[in-house]
A and B are shown apart, each in its own frame.
Chain A
């Protein structure tokens, strides 16, 4: 259906080929058609709905196209188009970094870039002005320009570990926030990644993040935004608190409240330390430091233009005495959180035994409850999500394994209403992740598989019967495989 509509558009709009009013910009801005297929968290053995969307990219040096990472989520096919022409060029993802929110794609056929020019990037920390322009292709061939006035710059987080410098622009744009480039004085200053239609605010990832990404990629390996997962709390000029911690009148900073093992700095920072400065830049009692873009949260000092392997120094107050600490920035581990916080592009892992569908608790699983997932999901799962740092720090488990649902069958009679249960043990052994669960179940020679869940619920299955029923379950519920466990 969508393809037909798209084709119809092509016929109509070729008549209105761009007039050249924004001369020079059409050859820097391209259309990206993303065909995405959603993950199906309810029935993880199949894929969800297929949708096509048009997003925007910006040509940069080296025959590459820069866009927003979140415009490409769960993509199956990516195609690019230029200059209002109807020809589609298949493209591949060069990098899709959900931590920085940026992606780079490249068409297979480099002739795509004939007639296109790379955008000039604004220098870091030197915004050429405050009045910008946002560009995009509307309806494939009508090129649009919108005004965008810089209102604010701040540190924002896609994940609690990664600071990204973003700018907010006020705009008249109604439909956007999907990778459109923001130019000021002809120079690229940001890539949009969200639009609030209520407040008419356009969010754009800063050029500093683009510079960091390109430099990081320069040596052929991408280290990514350095990992910093230390929790702090603002002291908010609270005089009692400041006195309690023995801070001098001129001391300002933030209080360390949690240091999960594995985070950069975890070997030198301790709970109840007060971070006074990062690399000699001081911060106030709300953790803000002065930057060319105004006050920014101190994570910026550790992550905006820093790389894995860099050394960070901090002046801290510990037990009322000042001291300096230094630590090396580590990369973000592949799985550092027992609840994976970004679960795009990878189908949900699952394992089915006796018709009981086990999955990992992931951000995707929670978000599958709809936009109000923080209200609708099970209260225990939400509590685990809210306290994921503490849960991850114990090191006891790699993932939170849950029962998503039970596919009713004789083998699981009486269990069919179980849902959202958190698995603790199988035959007495604490389950660390899905692969471990599979190993425990598959390696068992016992007559019964006894599964204990949080909340004193137990499921007992006859192991042989469960194995016998597998083929029947597969055909009844049209399941191609009883498991998908990446890395197993």
Chain B
């Protein structure tokens, strides 16, 4: 059963991906497979940064999850089980030993990761689990894992109750195919395999916070995308269609656009700058089909016995692949084709991991970029965070706010010091300019401070003409003093 360890990592996912496609749906194992020998417990310690004081880290936390051993000795689990990890251990049920492990690949958008035990001895007496397909609705599935941190494996049965596109909450603001089951999925189940006919049909990953007995798993097409993505040795993530669309349920709207009764599709409302579709699609285009798959007026395509949102077609593609689209433009059919790119964001709508906040401190003024992580430093942030910041976050794309800005630079706070003592209650303001230089990215901030105006640094914010003024001659000594006084290792982290 033990996998030869000579297979190199980069080559392996290819085989796995092929396996996904080749897996027969109704595979029956000849002998009963002991799935528990392919299920492991994962114990992680993690530290994450504090976006409120961007130079410090929060306290370490320990959490427990599950994982499945797949071909090549990789342990497939959720990204959130191993994200921001400083130390990972894996444990088998039959073995008292804990083994150190490391993350080999991690995909935060699809909440999947591959982990490997450092010591080959871990793999003794384990089985490698194979992939199945998408389970039929109402068919039985079995979840394996270590819920609530218990040391013995837990096995729960349930049925496949729904297959839909839904939000993956680890990153947030991203939606992919997911399967709903009534098999109990609790904290600690995360990353464990959901099995049918001795094959993995999903990775348990999240539960509904509001209702009982609704658990979700990541289905094989999404796992296949992840494994296909890392073929080149790097995880790049999912591509975007490059546009936002609106449904065309209203017949008058369709008539206005010149669609006949035989045509259906969705309307391009926003072409995302830098999203790959800029030279191919225009606002007002009607997307009739994607890769020759007709799109309904409600934005769905045929899928299994029912219909599913058209994004499924794009979600099955990798960044760099082409897409071809039939559009109705000014009442005339046009066919366009373009290369898919990752989603570009000027304000990140996603939870971030394995990354440290960028910042720049000058004269005690802490500059950062506006992002979801920044807003989440407020308790109940969606209700309580600064209203201008929430508006920018929610609507910067649709309202096309400050298109010249690559990102939005925010004055987080002022670290009180004699140089800025009259400014110390200024916080959470969006920077418009520093010393008459328009601020389009965090990197502009240190540049702008190099050129004071008439002996002063003058900072202007969005929404007010009231400037913030620092005496230029004071700031060098103030910077050194503030760094020392507040015990800040570095006054900037721009990358």
Contact = CB atoms under 8 A, between A and B. Distances in A.
- Are A and B part of the same complex? yes
B470 interface: yes
A379 B395 contact: yes
Interface in A21-63: none
Given A380-B394, A382-B391, A240 B252 contact: no
A205 to B, nearest CB: 30
Contact of B469 (A238, A258, A372): A238
A476 interface: no
Max chain B C-beta neighbours (<10 A), residue from A233, A271, A456: A456
B456 A244 contact: yes
B478 to A, nearest CB: 12
B270 A240 contact: no
A462 B255 contact: yes
Given A380-B391, A386-B387, A458-B269, A257 B250 contact: no
A95 interface: no
Contacts of A244: 454, 456, 458, 467, 469
B465 interface: yes
B304 interface: no
Contact of A243 (B250, B283, B471): B471
A241 interface: yes
A360 B128 CA distance: 64
A201 to B, nearest CB: 24
B253 A460 contact: yes
A374 B387 contact: yes
B280 interface: no
Interface string A360-385: 00000000000010111001101100
Contacts of B255: 448, 462
A413 interface: yes
Interface string B266-305: 0101100000000000010000000000000100000000
A236 interface: yes
Contact of A386 (B244, B248, B388, B394): B388
B486 interface: no
Q: Which of A243, A244, A390, A411 lies at the interface centre, i.e. has the most chain B CB atoms within 10 A of its CB?
A: A244
A413 B463 contact: no
A240 B250 CA distance: 60
Interface string B363-401: 000000000000000000001100110110111001100
B19 interface: no
A281 interface: no
Contacts of A255: 466
Specify which of A240, A454, A462 lies most central, judged by the most chain B CB atoms within 10 Å of its CB: A240
B345 interface: no
B269 A456 contact: yes
A462 B252 contact: yes
A67 B445 CA distance: 55
A257 B464 contact: yes
B468 to A, nearest CB: 8
A424 B129 CA distance: 57
B157 interface: no
Given A238-B422, A380-B394, A414-B247, A455 B252 contact: no
A240 B469 contact: yes
Nearest to A377: B387
Interface string A370-406: 0010111001101100110010000000000000000
A414 B470 CA distance: 54
Contacts of B244: 456
Given A382-B387, A387-B463, A457-B269, A239 B247 contact: no
A412 B250 CA distance: 7
Given A271-B465, A272-B465, A387-B463, A413 B249 contact: yes
A479 interface: no
Contact of B256 (A380, A387, A448, A454): A448
A349 to B, nearest CB: 25
B464 A240 contact: no
Nearest to A456: B269
B388 A383 contact: yes
B252 A461 contact: yes
B250 A413 contact: yes
Contact of B383 (A257, A372, A383, A459): A372
Given A455-B399, A460-B256, A241 B422 contact: yes
Size class of the contact patch on chain B: 35 or more
Interface in B226-257: 244, 246-253, 255-257
A372 B269 CA distance: 32
A329 B398 CA distance: 42
Contact of A383 (B256, B387, B471): B387
A413 B251 contact: yes
Given A382-B387, A386-B387, A450-B256, A455 B471 contact: no
Given A272-B465, A379-B390, A383-B387, A455 B395 contact: yes
A383 B391 contact: yes
Q: Could you tell me the dominant secondary structure of chain B's interface residues?
A: mixed
Interface string A45-85: 00000000000000000000000000000000000000000
B471 A240 contact: yes
A240 B470 contact: yes
Contacts of B246: 457-458
Contact of B398 (A383, A413, A456, A462): A456
A413 B269 CA distance: 18
B250 A414 contact: yes
A256 B249 CA distance: 51
A70 B269 CA distance: 45
Contact of B399 (A380, A387, A411): A380
A291 to B, nearest CB: 25
A238 B270 CA distance: 45
Contacts of A272: 465
Interface centre among B267, B394, B466, B470, by most chain A C-beta atoms within 10 angstroms, is: B466
B56 to A, nearest CB: 29
A342 interface: no
Contacts of B463: 386-387, 390
A414 B466 CA distance: 45
B9 interface: no
Contact of B270 (A237, A456, A465): A456
B465 A379 contact: no
Contacts of A238: 422-423, 469
B469 A241 contact: yes
B395 A460 contact: no
B184 to A, nearest CB: 33
Nearest to A385: B387
Contacts of B423: 238
A454 B465 contact: no
Contact of B465 (A239, A257, A459): A257
B456 A379 contact: no
Interface string A237-260: 111110110000000000101100
B391 to A, nearest CB: 4
Nearest to B391: A383
A459 B269 CA distance: 12
A344 interface: no
B398 A455 contact: yes
Nearest to A378: B394
Nearest to B283: A456
A461 B253 CA distance: 7
Contacts of A456: 244, 269-270, 283, 398
B427 to A, nearest CB: 15
The 7 closest A-B pairs by CB, nearest first: A414-B249, A238-B422, A455-B398, A383-B391, A414-B250, A375-B383, A462-B252
Given A240-B471, A460-B252, A465-B252, 16 more contacts: A238-B423, A238-B469, A240-B422, A241-B422, A243-B456, A258-B465, A380-B399, A387-B463, A390-B463, A413-B249, A455-B399, A456-B283, A457-B269, A458-B253, A462-B251, A462-B255
22 contacts: A233-B464, A238-B422, A238-B423, A240-B469, A241-B469, A244-B467, A257-B466, A258-B465, A372-B383, A379-B395, A390-B463, A413-B249, A414-B250, A448-B256, A450-B256, A454-B398, A456-B398, A458-B269, A459-B250, A460-B250, A460-B253, A460-B257
